[in-house]
Amino acid sequence: MNGTLSVAVWRGGADGGYRTYSVPRRESQTVLDVVTYIQRRLDPTLAYRFACRVGMCGSCAMTVNGLPRWTCRTHVADAAPDDRLEVGPLAHLPIVRDLVTDMRSFFDKWARARGAFKGTATRRDDFARVEPGSPARRAVDAAIECIGCGVCYAACDVVAWNPGYLGPAALNRAWTLVNDSRDGARAQRLAAVAGDAGCHACHTLASCTERCPKHLSPTAAIAGLKRATAVGLLRGEW
């Protein structure tokens, strides 16, 4: 395959800027291939993250031509039909350097949304029985595959407009636990996900659902949390 790509890559911190590189086009090239080429052949000072490079870990998430996506699963042919690429760090997170963001706030919010399972059984108890076809379990199954890549968080405008907003990923995980019959922290979790920092800040923009590489729907999960917190409040559950 012939031709050259013109690739603008974000360099530096928040006060940095785009620097342009020329990268040869290749067959079935992904944006991660392009970034790797730049770092290995053109500029070894470029900082970026990746791990599995086969669409399983979510580490390579970046902003490509304005959209947050996994660079290992973004074909140049789809993302840059006119041979121009713009690659930047994931939005709404502090920039460490170049294409690397500080994801601490993303995971802190996960913890603040009580996105961790709280067990109630002991080794002496029998196994919990969870009916796989039950509405609650199906709701969990639809949302459980999240790998915490941050694409939804970067896509959501409310995250930008509301600094305290826990975000789609954290709330989506909380939803899976709200529907988990084995979990023992329901009251605390409903209290954690309600309010202006929680599910009630969601305006159903659905950019999260639009961009999620695993085709999850945080929009549906957050709507569920709105119902759960409202009903819970009326019933005095939290």
Which residues of the chain form contacts with other proteins (CB under 8 A)? 65-68, 86, 155, 157-158, 161-162, 191-192, 194-198, 200, 203-207, 209-211, 217, 219-220, 223-224, 226-227, 229-230, 233-234
Question: CA-CA distance, 59 to 2, in Å (whole number)?
Answer: 30
Question: CA-CA distance, 26 to 49, in Å (whole number)?
Answer: 22
Say if residue 104 is exposed, middle or buried (CB neighbours under 10 Å; 0-12, 13-18, 19+).
Answer: exposed
Residue 44 or 236: the one with the smaller Cβ distance to other proteins is 236
Phi first, then psi: give them for residue 174, nearest 5 degrees: -60, -40
In angstroms, what is the minimal distance from the CB of 41 to other proteins?
A: 26
Say if residue 131 is exposed, middle or buried (CB neighbours under 10 Å; 0-12, 13-18, 19+).
Answer: exposed
In angstroms, what is the minimal distance from the CB of 121 to other proteins?
A: 29
Residue 57 or 206: the one with the smaller Cβ distance to other proteins is 206
In angstroms, what is the minimal distance from the CB of 49 to other proteins?
A: 20
Residue 39 or 162: the one with the smaller Cβ distance to other proteins is 162
In angstroms, what is the minimal distance from the CB of 130 to other proteins?
A: 21
C-alpha torsion sign, points 178, 179, 183, 186: positive
Residue 88 or 148: the one with the smaller Cβ distance to other proteins is 88
